Amino acid sequence: MELNRRTVIAGAAAAGLAATALGGTAHATGGRKPVKELFGKLADGTKVYRWSLENGGTRMKVLSWGGVVQSLEIPDRKGRYANVSLGFDNIEDYVAKTPYFGALIGRYGNRIAKGQFTLDGKSYQLSVNDGANSLHGGAQGFDKRVWDVEPFTKGSDVGLHLHYTSADGEMGYPGTLKVKVTYTLTRHGDWRIDYEATTTKATVVNLTSHVYWNLAGEGSGTIENHELKIAAGRYTPTDSGLIPTGELAKVSSTPFDFRKAKPVGRDIRDGHPQQILAQGYDHNWVLDKGITAKPEHVATLCDPSSGRTLKIATVEPGLQFYSGNFLDGTLTGTGGRTYRQGDALCLETQHFPDSPNHPSFPSTVLRPGQTYKTTTVHTFGA
């Protein structure tokens, strides 16, 4: 019988089982003030801090470097904890090697063709860092910045306010962009992300989170047996540079059809031309709901072996599903094991890639006097 997460936590607490580190047993917790500790120093001496949060049975560690979620621990169906987010145990690897593990992404999540766009008749050249294209904000995106972090407790919730000001012209983007991102752990153990931004000049913005998920536990092996469901009847095919062609293609009768839950690996080797280009899945799904005022459930990920589940709700119109195609065995994670191709996946809530160059896509333009706002909620179960 599958138990819901609150039943697992309550049952463990009733049995008097104490929570421990990885492999320990879940217990019900109240919201406690986040704890700050030094994580490391950058080459110039800048200190990077780590914040530990716990609420509702979810444990999370966040770095001031890139707003990185270094670890996120949740219980399985038997109440045993595992860290389900890929990451490193030192700042040096985050600086030199990370493929955006757990990071906040900006100013623009995903790709912009040739790092170029035109807005109000003026052309802009962005930092190019992915072949001929700009990826995730450029060579020094928000994932490589030190954020100001302010902890909070509010009622039964705990969390962090993260602040960063991106200067006019940074990575080629116009306007001084003031960004506030709030990570909240609710009393039920949900992880909510609220993004806000304002600008001094017309610009483009597309913020997201780049957690690599493995619900069996980081370093435990492939996610191809994870079952995934996405509420999307279309996706955006790409060219060889993974830039959208502009088409909104139907998922029906293709490996991209996740409207009913299926194992990630079931169709991953079907040889569809789009899979060959991406070496797996690395595409934006066009969510059926479109843009909404409040977060709506759009995706469910389940690991049958542990019973852990992740449900994602968002206001965004798109979801980038990346199947960890470029993990190559050269990175060693927090658990001391190497990460190989397909050892994790990403589910990035967002506007569509390269939207500034596709007028038919939902707009990512932000103007002075407007406030960019978007929310994504992660709900965990077992």
Residues 6+ apart with CB under 8 A from 59: 52, 53, 71, 72, 73, 74, 81
pLDDT of 297 > 80? The answer is yes
Q: Summarize the confidence of residues 75-96 as an average pLDDT.
A: 98
Amino acid identity at 201: K
pLDDT of residue 30: 54
DSSP 144: G
320 in Cβ contact with 256 (< 8 Å): no
Q: pLDDT tens across 226-251, in order?
A: 999 999 999 999 999 999 999 999 99
pTM: 0.92
CA distance 51 to 343: 26
User: Which residues are known catalytic residues?
Assistant: 210, 348
Q: pLDDT tens across 324-365, in order?
A: 999 999 999 999 999 999 999 999 999 999 999 999 999 999
User: With helix as H, strand as E and coil as C, how does 44-87 read?
Assistant: CCCEEEEEEEEECCEEEEEECECCCEEEEEEECCCCEEEECECC
By 3-state DSSP, what share of the chain in percent is helix, strand and coil, each rounded to 5?
A: 10, 40, 50
**3-state secondary structure at position 22:** coil
Backbone angles phi, psi at 93, to 5 degrees: -70, -35
Bridge partners for 250 per DSSP:
234
| Tokens at 252, concatenated | 């029906």
Judge residue 49's burial from the number of C-beta atoms within 10 Å of its C-beta, 0-12 exposed, 13-18 middle, 19 or more buried.
Answer: middle
Q: pLDDT tens across 126-143, in order?
A: 999 999 999 999 999 999
Q: Summarize the confidence of residues 30-57 as an average pLDDT.
A: 94
| Tokens at 18, concatenated | 């104490």
Residues 6+ apart with CB under 8 A from 271: none
pLDDT of residue 23: 39
222 in Cβ contact with 196 (< 8 Å): no
375 in Cβ contact with 137 (< 8 Å): no
pLDDT of 9 > 70? The answer is no
Instruction: Kindly list the strands in the beta sheet with 35-41, ordered across the sheet, starting from the edge strand earlier in the chain.
Output: 35-41, 47-55, 58-63, 69-75, 81-83
* Confidence class for position 32, pLDDT limits 50, 70, 90: confident
- How long a stretch of residues is the chain? 382
CA distance 12 to 99: 36
CA distance 209 to 57: 21
Q: Summarize the confidence of residues 105-118 as an average pLDDT.
A: 98
Q: What are the DSSP E strand ranges found in 106-238?
A: 111-112, 116-119, 122-125, 134-135, 148-154, 157-166, 177-185, 191-199, 203-204, 208-210, 227-230, 234-236
In which element (H, E) is residue 10 found? helix 5-14
CA distance 138 to 225: 33
pLDDT of 40 > 60? The answer is yes
278 in Cβ contact with 344 (< 8 Å): no
270 in Cβ contact with 255 (< 8 Å): yes
